[in-house]
Amino acid sequence: MPAMPVLDADSARFIGGSVSVIVSSRNAANVPELVRAQGCRVSRDRRRVQLFVQAAQAQALFDDLRRNGRIAVVFTSPSTHRSLQLKGVDASVARARPADVARVAAYRAAMVAELGGIGVSEALARALLAGDDDTLSVVAFTPAAAFVQTPGPDAGRPLEPAP
């Protein structure tokens, strides 16, 4: 029987919402590479996570992921600073599908509103989230560990396994 999913339902909803998503990996010399993702999808069983990444910004990250599969992702709500970090060891990269492009468009609109709520201009938010949908890629992985990263006394605490 497979292990329980790392994510509980609330955490899965959170990372799939209007949150900043920073994806990172590292090369053989432990030099990090990171990019901003444009949304996330969590599988129904909460065992797999897909991130939407602009290929033009992420070739070095993709190279690292293809070599070692190691990934760390931080999800942060701009308005509350609630943050979660996921780690995995089986990341893969694929081209996005048309449905993924529609999902990214919805994410961008939600993030423009989220950022607007904390005073970021619409023009700046749109520039931050701009990208070429023709080269959108999907990074998929199985979360092996999850941590609370919200600033405060619980930062770094492992997220309790999902029931």
Give me the mean pLDDT over the 103-117 stretch.
Answer: 96
Question: Which of 27, 23, 19, 45 lies closest to 36, judged by CA?
Answer: 23
Alpha carbons 130 and 67: distance in angstroms, whole number: 28
Q: What pLDDT was estimated at residue 163?
A: 58
Q: What pLDDT was estimated at residue 129?
A: 93
What CA–CA distances, in Å, run from 7 to 47, 82, 83, 127? 7, 15, 14, 31
Based on its alpha-carbon atoms, the radius of gyration of the chain, rounded to whole angstroms, reads 15
Asked if 52 and 107 touch (Cβ cutoff 8 Å), the reply is: yes
Give me the mean pLDDT over the 44-67 stretch.
Answer: 96
- In degrees and rounded to multiples of 5, residue 112 shows phi and psi of -60, -45
pLDDT at 1 over 50: no
